[in-house]
Amino acid sequence: MLKYFIIIGLACFGVGCNSNDNVEYCPDIEPNQLSTKSLWQQFNVTVPISPISENLIGIACHNCYANQSIDILDSHLRIELAIQSQVNAIELDVVFPDENYSQPMVSHDLTSSYVPLIDVLNNALLQQSRTMIFIELKGKIVKEQYIRDVLDVLKHYETSSPQYDYLNPNRFVAIRSFEHDTTLVTARKVITEVEYLGVQPFIKLSRLHYVKKLKTLKAEVEQAYECGMSMVEFDYRIGSNDIKALNSYAETMGMAVNVFTLDESNYREAIQELKDEVDVITVTDTLNSENNSLFERLRLLISE
SS3 assignment for the chain: CCCCCEECCCCCCCCCCCCCCCCCCCCCCCCCEECCCCHHHHCCCCCCECCCCCCECEEEECCCCCCCCCCHHHHHHHHHHHHHCCCCEEEEEEECCCCCCCCCEECCCCCCCCEEHHHHCCCHHHHHCCCEEEEEECCCCCCHHHHHHHHHHHHHCEEECCEECCCECCECEEEEECCCCCHHHHHHHHCCCHHHCCCHHHEEEEEEECCCCHHHHHHHHHHHHHCCCCEEEEEHHHCHHHHHHHHHHHHHCCCEEEEEEECCCCHHHHHHHHCCCCCEEEECCCCCCCCCCHHHHHHHHHHC
**Per-residue pLDDT band at 3 (split at 50, 70, 90):** low
Distance in angstroms (rounded) separating the CA atoms of residues 270 and 221? 21
Q: Domain for residue 18, yes or no? A: no
Q: Domain for residue 95, yes or no? A: yes
List beta partners, residue 164: 158
Q: Domain for residue 244, yes or no? A: yes
Supply the pTM of this predicted model: 0.91
Give the model confidence (pLDDT) of 114-171 as tens digits.
999 999 999 999 999 999 999 999 999 999 999 999 999 999 999 876 689 999 999 9
Burial class (CB in 10 A: 0-12, 13-18, 19+), 99: exposed
Give the model confidence (pLDDT) of 198-208 as tens digits.
999 999 999 99
**Residue 197 CB partners (closer than 8 Å, separation 6+):** none
Distance in angstroms (rounded) separating the CA atoms of residues 163 and 165? 7
Q: Domain for residue 19, yes or no? A: no
Distance in angstroms (rounded) separating the CA atoms of residues 133 and 137? 12
- Residue 191 carries which side chain, given as an amino acid letter? I
What pLDDT score was predicted for residue 36? 65
Distance of CA 163 to the CA centre of its chain: 21
**Per-residue pLDDT band at 18 (split at 50, 70, 90):** very low
Q: Domain for residue 1, yes or no? A: no
Q: Output 41 or 59, whichever has higher pLDDT.
A: 59
What pLDDT score was predicted for residue 12? 40
Q: Which domain holds residue 252?
A: 6-13+24-303
* pLDDT at position 29 over 80: no
What pLDDT score was predicted for residue 19? 43
Give the residue-averaged pLDDT of 270-299: 91
Please, are residues 248 and 224 in contact by the beta-carbon 8 Å criterion? no
CATH of the domain at 92: 3.20.20.190
Please, are residues 106 and 116 in contact by the beta-carbon 8 Å criterion? yes
> Closest Cα partner for 131 from 189, 96, 81, 178?
81
What pLDDT score was predicted for residue 31? 42
Radius of gyration for the chain, computed over Cα atoms and rounded to the nearest angstrom: 18
Q: Domain for residue 144, yes or no? A: yes
Q: Output 155 or 27, whichever has higher pLDDT.
A: 155
Question: Taking all residues of the chain, what is their mean pLDDT, rounded to a whole number?
Answer: 89
**Per-residue pLDDT band at 32 (split at 50, 70, 90):** low
Q: Domain for residue 33, yes or no? A: yes
Q: Output 9 or 97, whichever has higher pLDDT.
A: 97
Q: Domain for residue 252, yes or no? A: yes
Q: Please tell me the total number of residues recorded for the chain in this structure.
A: 304
Counted domains in the chain: 1
